[in-house]
């Protein structure tokens, strides 16, 4: 090499820790989710939903309320899987996750509160029927003439939201003994309208009726009353919202 000639500079690449390569490979794999696996999981959750509906289905919609929390939970799980993987929220900035979580919370909180009230509706009637199986009295039903003939027994099944049977007949002044068996998951009652159906078609809105029997969820309630003057009356559940949902029957007095 001649005197005064510049020596070429050699760039030496800094040494990399082998752990860096492992971390980089893991990051690349993480950024490529297993879409087929997520799809299979979604299919399994859907099959579970179908199974729950089929397994617990009964006539007249019984046990409908009990299925709602499970189905809602499965729906939320499926939605989160779609958003996290197919919409890539899991791999985006954490700021997006914060905004998304706040939106879900703002939407879900009112739904949860409404569902709690549906499960345990506020009871507006503080006075319950206390009469036993053989009890009678004008305070337990519409105004009626003197007793006529032996009393009859009406065994009714109540659930969400129905009576079975939903028709009752008696003679004017006849005693009626009611046994309400609640097979539902919330409380139910048996109430009788004070006026015929033609005069008051919705006694649960006018509060013009008498509660005869009250049965908490899974229990039985009893009460009795005298059949009023001839006409077509209504019996119904006076828990708020239940009659509107279809828990109404016809009481025919001859």
Phi, psi dihedrals of residue 159, rounded to the nearest 5°: -150, -165
- pLDDT at 236 (0 to 100): 94
Residue 63 falls in which region: left (phi positive, over 0), alpha (psi -120 to 50) or beta: left
* pLDDT values of the chain reduced to their tens digit, one per residue, 254 residues: 555 565 555 555 555 565 555 555 555 555 567 788 888 988 998 888 888 777 765 444 444 455 667 777 788 788 888 887 777 777 777 777 777 777 777 777 777 677 666 655 444 443 343 333 333 344 444 544 455 568 889 999 999 999 999 999 999 989 999 999 999 899 999 999 999 999 999 998 888 889 999 999 999 999 999 999 999 999 999 998 899 999 999 999 98
Collapsing DSSP to helix, strand or coil, 91 comes out as helix
| Helix residue spans in the chain (DSSP H) | 18-30, 35-56, 64-81, 94-119, 203-206
Cα separation, 82 vs 85, in Å, equals 6
183 SS3 class? coil
The pLDDT value recorded for residue 74 is: 81
CATH tag, 138-253: 2.60.40.420
Q: Where are the domains of the chain?
A: 18-119, 138-253
The pLDDT score that the predictor gives to residue 29 is 57
Report pLDDT for 5: 60
Q: Output the pLDDT for position 38.
A: 85
Query: Which pLDDT score, from 0 to 100, does residue 111 have?
Result: 72
Residue of 36, 29, 47, 24 whose CA lies nearest to 86: 36
Closest CA to 190 of 159, 148, 169: 159
Q: Which tokens go with 96?
A: 């997006």
Q: Give me the helix-helix angle, 64-81 and 94-119, nearest 10°.
A: 180
DSSP-derived secondary structure for 37-70: HHHHHHHHHHHHHHHHHHHH--GGGTTHHHHHHH
- Rg of the chain over Cα atoms, rounded to whole angstroms, equals 33
Q: Which two tokens stand for residue 165?
A: 């049977």
**First-to-final CA distance of the chain:** 129
Cα separation of 220 and 158, whole Å? 10
Q: Is 232 helix (H, G, I), strand (E, B) or coil?
A: strand
- Which pLDDT value is given to residue 138? 40
pLDDT value of position 81: 81
């Amino acid at each position: 090499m001649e005197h005064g000639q510049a020596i070429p500079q050699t760039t030496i690449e800094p040494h990399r820790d082998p752990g860096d390569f492992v971390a980089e490979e893991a990051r690349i794999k993480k950024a490529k989710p297993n879409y087929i696996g997520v799809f299979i999981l979604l299919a399994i959750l859907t099959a579970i939903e179908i199974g729950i509906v089929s397994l617990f289905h009964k006539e007249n919609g019984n046990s409908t309320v009990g299925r709602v929390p499970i189905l809602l939970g499965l729906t939320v799980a499926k939605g989160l899987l779609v958003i996290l993987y197919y919409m890539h929220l899991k791999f985006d900035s954490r700021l997006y996750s914060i905004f998304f979580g706040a939106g879900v919370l703002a939407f879900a909180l009112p739904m949860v509160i409404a569902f709690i009230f549906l499960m345990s509706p506020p009871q507006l009637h503080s006075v319950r029927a206390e009469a036993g199986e053989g009890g009678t009295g004008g305070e337990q039903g519409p105004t009626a003439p003197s007793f006529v003939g032996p009393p009859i027994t009406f065994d009714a099944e109540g659930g969400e939201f129905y009576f079975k049977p939903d028709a009752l007949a008696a003679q004017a002044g006849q005693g009626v003994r009611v046994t309400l068996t609640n097979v539902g998951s919330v409380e139910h009652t048996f109430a009788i309208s004070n006026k015929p159906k033609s005069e008051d078609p919705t006694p649960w809105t006018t509060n013009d009726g008498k509660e005869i029997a009250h049965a908490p969820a899974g229990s039985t309630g009893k009460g009795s009353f005298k059949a009023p003057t001839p006409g077509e009356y209504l019996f119904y559940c006076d828990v708020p919202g239940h009659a509107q949902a279809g828990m109404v029957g016809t009481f025919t007095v001859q």
